[in-house]
Amino acid sequence: MRNYYKISEISKLYGIGADSIRFYERLGILRPRREANGYRLYSLKEMYKLNIIRDLRRLDFSMAQIKEYLADQSVGNTLELLHREKLLLGERMRELRTRDELIGERIAVLDNARKIRTGVFTVKNMPERFCVQLCEHIARDEEMDFAVKKLHRRHEEKIRDFGNQVIGAFPSMENMRRGHSNVYDAVFFILESETPDYDFILPAGEYLSYFYGGGYEQNAERMAEVLAYAENNGLRLLGDPFEMYEIDNRDTMREEEFLTEIQVLVEPRR
């Protein structure tokens, strides 16, 4: 076995780019010798450091931390480092378990959403729901996306996962009555749990519910159908109707796959 290897050989053997190896040299972690022709030659004594660097980089250790460890490598320092690795791995495992739960929740929501029948009126009992909102005139899909992002940024510490966040909006009823679709007065998030820091509450009670599929240009027509159904069936409205986005552009770019629910609080039937 040779005592020295060229950078191209080291790069191939360890799966580390030559630029990275040169970077470690500039930091003073690796110290190759130079041949007369200028080629770098790395000794076997230097090469063991690459395994350590690779392992610690995977755990997000900074190069300064790695350099400090290699400069004073000892059993005591190695034990300290291993304990830190163990703590970091524990944190990563908790993060992965949380992420796994969130993905499972989103899969369940989308699977259930694909089974929902559109064009059907139902009345369902809903619990009290705490919400945060952004009041802003919204007349285009792009403006809606921007408003949602602004609301998310304002309350991101309350949002466990944006992909699972329940998003709703209050259509401009004045524009709806004129037949103007896709115009809104506010966008809101329904929070996962009760919190003292909220903007309004959707009260517990019975809600008339109606799902429609496709783009939002039809929502004035769909809203008119909901209001007509309520009037024809003797359901007195106790609030303004709103939309909830079950499937939207977080999940698909195919407009025909969008799924939106219209809800409005109604007086309980006797």
- pLDDT tens column, 194-233: 888 899 999 999 999 999 999 999 999 999 999 999 999 9
Alpha helices by DSSP H, 28-74: 44-58, 63-71
pLDDT of residue 177: 82
* Model pLDDT, residue 240: 93
**With 70 as the cut, is the pLDDT of residue 270 above it?**
no
Is the pLDDT reported for residue 35 higher than 70? yes
Instruction: Give the integer Cα–Cα distance in Å for 80 and 187.
Output: 50
Tell me the H-state helices in the chain.
Answer: 7-14, 18-26, 44-58, 63-71, 75-113, 141-155, 173-177, 219-232
Would you say 242 and 171 are in contact if contact means Cβ atoms under 8 Å apart?
Answer: yes
Phi, psi of 122 (to 5 degrees): -140, 160
pLDDT digits (tens, 9 = 90+) for 242-253: 999 999 998 999
- What's the rounded Cα separation, in Å, for the pair 116 and 76? 61
Across the chain, mean pLDDT equals 90
d(CA 253, CA 182) in angstroms, rounded, equals 18
Least confident window among 61-75, 114-128, 138-152, 249-263 = 61-75
CB 190 within 8 A of CB 166: yes
Residues 230 and 208 sit within 8 Å (Cβ to Cβ): yes
- What would the two tokens of residue 252 be? 């698909």
Compute how many other C-beta atoms are within 10 angstroms of the C-beta atom of residue 155. 19
**CA 84/CA 69 separation, integer angstroms:** 12
Query: The dihedral of CA 110, 204, 212, 166: what is its sign?
Result: negative
